[in-house]
Structure 1
Amino acid sequence: MALSHKARKRWTLLALCVGMPLYIVAAVTLVGWLPRMHVLVELLLYVVLGIVWIFPLKPLIRGVGKPDPEAEVEE
């Protein structure tokens, strides 16, 4: 069952306002548990973790910024 445009906006807002800070804390904790690495390797790891979060949320976020296709057009 597909989500309505309004529901998709709400889930996206929840994911970005609640899920994103939790993901950041988890990523920093994960990197903190690893043994000390060279600064560039650590930077690369943060860049990869900063990009990876979007893949599971991509279907949810896609099309949220567009107008509701089911809404009536007012002229």
Structure 2
Amino acid sequence: MALSYKARRRWSLVILLIGLPAYVVIAVTVVDWLDRPSFWVELLIYVTLGFLWMLPFRFVFLGVGKADPDATPPEDGPGREG
């Protein structure tokens, strides 16, 4: 079932404002369980986790930054030359 443009915009906000901070807390907690590995290992873990969080949600973010494809274009009003 495909999500509408408005639904994808709303879900992307929920994911970015609630889900991403929660994911950051979880990632820091997991790294903390590893007794603070060396800098390079820790950096590799954060980069990997930073990439992996978006994979399940890529369909939600696809095209959200573009104009609504289902919206009707605005009609030219008075005073607009064209």
Under a length normalisation based on structure 2, what TM-score does the superposition of the two structures give?
A: 0.84
Structure number with bigger Rg: 2
* Letter in structure 2 aligned against 1:61: F
Residue matched to 2:50: 50
Question: 2-side partners of 1:20 and 1:26: how far apart?
Answer: 10
Question: 2-side partners of 1:55 and 1:18: how far apart?
Answer: 17
1:26 CA drift (Å): 0.3
* Letter in structure 1 aligned against 2:13: L
Under a length normalisation based on structure 1, what TM-score does the superposition of the two structures give?
A: 0.92
1:35 CA drift (Å): 3.3
Question: 1-side partners of 2:61 and 2:51: how far apart?
Answer: 15
1:37 CA drift (Å): 2.0
1:50 CA drift (Å): 1.1
1:48 CA drift (Å): 0.8
Tell me how many residue pairs correspond in the alignment: 75
1:73 CA drift (Å): 0.9
1:54 CA drift (Å): 1.1
User: After TM superposition, where is structure 1 displaced by more than 6 Å over at least 4 residues in a row?
Assistant: none
* Letter in structure 1 aligned against 2:34: L
Question: 1-side partners of 2:17 and 2:49: how far apart?
Answer: 18
Instruction: State percent identity of aligned pairs.
Output: 53
Residue matched to 1:68: 68
After TM superposition, the structure 1 = structure 2 runs for residues 8-19 of structure 1, keeping only pairs within 5 Å, are 8-19=8-19
| Structure 1 unmatched ranges of 5 or more | none
Higher relative contact order (CA 8 A, sep 6+): 1
